[in-house]
Amino acid sequence: MTWNCPFCGHNQVVTGGSFNLIRGFIGTERNRYDVRGYAIKMTECLNPECKEFAAEVMLVGVKQNTVGQTVIAIEDVKFRSRIRPVSAARPQHACIPPQLVRDYEEACAIVELSPKAAATLCRRCLQGMIRNFCGISRSTLAQEIAELKKAVDTGTAPRQVSDESVEAIDSVRSIGNIGAHFERDIDLIIEVDDGEALRLVSLIELLFEEWYVARFDRVRRLGEVRETGLAKTAERRLLSS
């Protein structure tokens, strides 16, 4: 199977030597959740510059095998908890402002424990991106989104900001209770479910890539072309002298 290291982002094929799964029975009778087994999974990164490992523990159910024996059902996960790293936050590029990355990482760390708190951090991160990347600051996030729409329509928004990205940000307002309070205080905590919070996290990851990383790569590539041109010009002058 393939696996993406949460520490370095390296995509790799998991081998027997880099993966271990320990399983067993918890030794109790059937409970209301039908949790009767556990499994601990550990995966090591094959990237020689990383060599980190990720681990998680799962409480699972049981099943009958083909010969009628009761065995651990790894696929029947009742509860899951990450041990290392503690969240599903992806490594982010150094070009992204640290405060935005911290809000994103904190949101990822608590998205399962408190989706509503994670959503609040995500909304603050989105507002921070609009203010930092797009240079738009208004009294409410809804007003900033409206101003960003106007900037895209008039061609004054940063080139990395597309109609689709603005529509994605605005569509967040229609997700459950987020929509009812999106235009209010950015620190207001409201009821949000896991799926809504995860969609906000995914949106932030997408905008990090499409806005900040894309701009960084464009500037870097144009700089390399410029340096090549300057080097060639200097070389021609040297040959002609």
Q: At which residue do the structure tokens 């809000």 appear?
A: 103
Assess whether 185 and 212 both reside in one domain: yes
In this structure, which long-range contacts are made by residues 78-85, counting pairs with CB atoms below 8 Å and at least 24 apart in sequence?
Answer: 78/33, 78/34, 78/35, 79/33, 79/35, 80/56, 81/56, 81/57, 82/54, 82/55, 82/56, 83/55, 83/56, 83/57, 84/53, 84/54, 84/55, 85/6, 85/7, 85/54
Assess whether 63 and 126 both reside in one domain: no
Percentage of residues of the chain with pLDDT beyond 90: 47
pTM: 0.73
Assess whether 162 and 237 both reside in one domain: yes
Assess whether 131 and 116 both reside in one domain: yes
Assess whether 227 and 159 both reside in one domain: yes
Amino acid at 123: R
Assess whether 187 and 208 both reside in one domain: yes
Assess whether 110 and 54 both reside in one domain: no
pLDDT in tens, 71-128: 999 899 998 888 898 888 888 999 999 999 999 999 998 888 888 888 888 888 999 9
Nearest by Cα to 173 from 192, 152, 194, 154: 192
Assess whether 14 and 49 both reside in one domain: yes
Contact 135, 151 (CB under 8 A): no
Pairwise CA distance, residues 198 & 107, whole Å: 9
pLDDT classification of 179: cutoffs 50, 70, 90: very low
CATH code of the domain containing 156? 1.20.120
Amino acid at 147: E
Counting the structural domains of the chain, the total is: 2
pLDDT in tens, 123-175: 889 999 999 999 999 988 888 999 999 999 999 999 999 999 999 888 776 55
Among 68, 86, 104, the domain-final residue is: 86
Assess whether 198 and 135 both reside in one domain: yes
Amino acid at 140: T
Pairwise CA distance, residues 227 & 50, whole Å: 32
Assess whether 191 and 97 both reside in one domain: yes
Among 30, 62, 86, the domain-final residue is: 86
Domain that holds residue 4: 1-86
Amino acid at 60: V
Assess whether 161 and 78 both reside in one domain: no
Which residue spans within 181-237 are E strands per DSSP?
none
Pairwise CA distance, residues 152 & 30, whole Å: 58
Nearest by Cα to 169 from 200, 190, 214: 200
Q: How far is CA 30 from the centre of its chain?
A: 36
Assess whether 206 and 112 both reside in one domain: yes
**In the prediction, which pLDDT does 102 show?**
95
Sign of CA dihedral 151, 152, 156, 158: positive
Amino acid at 71: V
Among 86, 101, 130, the domain-final residue is: 86
Residue 131 burial by Cβ neighbours in a 10 Å radius (0-12, 13-18, 19+): middle
